[in-house]
Structure 1
Amino acid sequence: MATDPDAALMVAFQGGDETAFRSLFEKHGRAMVAFCHHFVRDGARAEELAQDVFLKVHRSAARYQPSARFKTFLYRIASNHCLNELRRGEYAARRAVESAEDGQGEPTDPDSLAGPAPTPEENMLATALGEAVEKLLGQLPEKQRAAFVLGRLEGLSYEEIADVLDTSISAVKSLVHRATVAAAAALAPYAADGKEALP
């Protein structure tokens, strides 16, 4: 039996324990919304995509092998779903219509957490940095974006990313390296205290 507690929950779900699946959703749901947000940059749509991902996990449970980490299984489904969404182009068209109808086109941040009140300068820098990161992610080729998000933001190993993206470890290293170089160039103005990036 796998030592991964998530794998144990998935095996329990395969055996008919719906509470095990709910536990997986509660544990990974918010992180999945954040992951999807890196692809579509809209909070409401990211939540929809995350729900889609867990529906796919639910329907694909019989295919899960407990020898594999559940997180790898989850992010393989999520990456494929998000990349397919981008390739179809349905999201961009839908959002353009919705923004025109309700006047709400501002992206939301699913990672926002309560904390000490930031200073106005910190607010400006955080906003500028967030916009720069989102712009960077939007400009990266699909597989570079997926590899970068999985590795740098979700903490998966090269081996796990290769499994998720169905490619070689050397290809993953190349994808992450190219994306990291692009990120370093895009975020250079925010190095040190970031004051040069503010008006």
Structure 2
Amino acid sequence: MVRVAAGDRRAFALLFDRYHASVARFAFRFVGDRARAEELAQDIFVKLYRNAKAYQPAAPFKTFLFRVATNHCLNEVRRGEYRVAHTSTSPGDAEDGGVEVASPGAEQPDEAVAGRELERAVGEALQGMSERERAAFTLCRFEGMAYRDIATALGASEAAVKSLIHRATLAVARKVEALQAGTGPARSRA
């Protein structure tokens, strides 16, 4: 990002290539619409590029990037135009190493169905979370960020992040338990 601030466009292209898919998946978890998630990811990178000279390397770039992404996505959701309605996949899941519960070449069809049901249950749990819980959970579980980096990205204390992630994890666990007990969303329709 320091090179981008100095006018190095190739450095920006490298950052974009490295992080675009992650940012798009993150945005998708807020708006539930692939096309809008792509637009938000583009907006976030435009914002980064335009404000490159203001970047201060006090934290890892990924932390800074997801702070910008979190604020942008929260603002989008607060406008009220989008309500999260998760589907079983998000942008780039299969192609970009994103979260995919069932492997595409699963040997047993019931394994693939179980994977999709699990993915749907997690999506429904995400839908029921507050925006900050969803952001903390997504950054932790899907982006692999450390609590201190999530705290920086969300502008919260590490203790608050632990609490957000704990509540979010309990919500996901309840959905998965309901699925395993046969009362989950897919099984109750069968």
TM-score, scaled relative to structure 2? 0.83
CA distance in 1, matches of 2:146, 2:88: 29
How much is the aligned-residue C-alpha RMSD, in angstroms? 2.5
Alignment of 1:1-199 (within 5 A): 10-92=1-83, 108-113=89-94, 116-118=104-106, 119-189=108-178, 198=187, 199=190
Q: What per-residue deviation string (whole Å, max 9, x for no partner) do you get for residues 169-192 of structure 1?
A: 11111111111111111112456x
**Alignment CA distance shift 1:106-1:175 (3 Å):** closer
CA distance in 2, matches of 1:107, 1:187: 14
CA distance in 2, matches of 1:144, 1:109: 19
Superposition misfits of 4+ residues, deviation over 4 angstroms: 105-108, 194-199
Q: What per-residue deviation string (whole Å, max 9, x for no partner) do you get for residues 26-84 of structure 1?
A: 01111111111111122111111111111111112112112321001100000011111
**Alignment CA distance shift 1:19-1:133 (3 Å):** same
TM-score, scaled relative to structure 1? 0.80
Higher fraction of helix: 1
**Alignment CA distance shift 1:125-1:107 (3 Å):** closer
**Counterpart amino acid of residue 147 in structure 1:** A
CA distance in 1, matches of 2:133, 2:87: 25
**Alignment CA distance shift 1:186-1:116 (3 Å):** closer
**Counterpart amino acid of residue 70 in structure 2:** S
CA shift, 1:144, in A, is 1.0
Structure 2 runs not aligned, ≥5 long: 96-102
Structure 1 runs not aligned, ≥5 long: 1-9, 97-104
- Rg larger for: 1
**Alignment CA distance shift 1:113-1:74 (3 Å):** same
CA distance in 1, matches of 2:81, 2:47: 19
- Contact 1:43 1:108 (C-alpha < 8 Å) held by counterparts: no
CA shift, 1:120, in A, is 2.3
CA distance in 1, matches of 2:63, 2:10: 21
Percent identical: 46
**Counterpart amino acid of residue 23 in structure 1:** L
- Please give the secondary structure, in 1, of the residue aligned with 2:82: helix
CA distance in 2, matches of 1:158, 1:117: 34
CA distance in 2, matches of 1:40, 1:82: 8
Q: What per-residue deviation string (whole Å, max 9, x for no partner) do you get for residues 96-153 of structure 1?
A: 9xxxxxxxx9675324326652332123222212211111111101111111111122
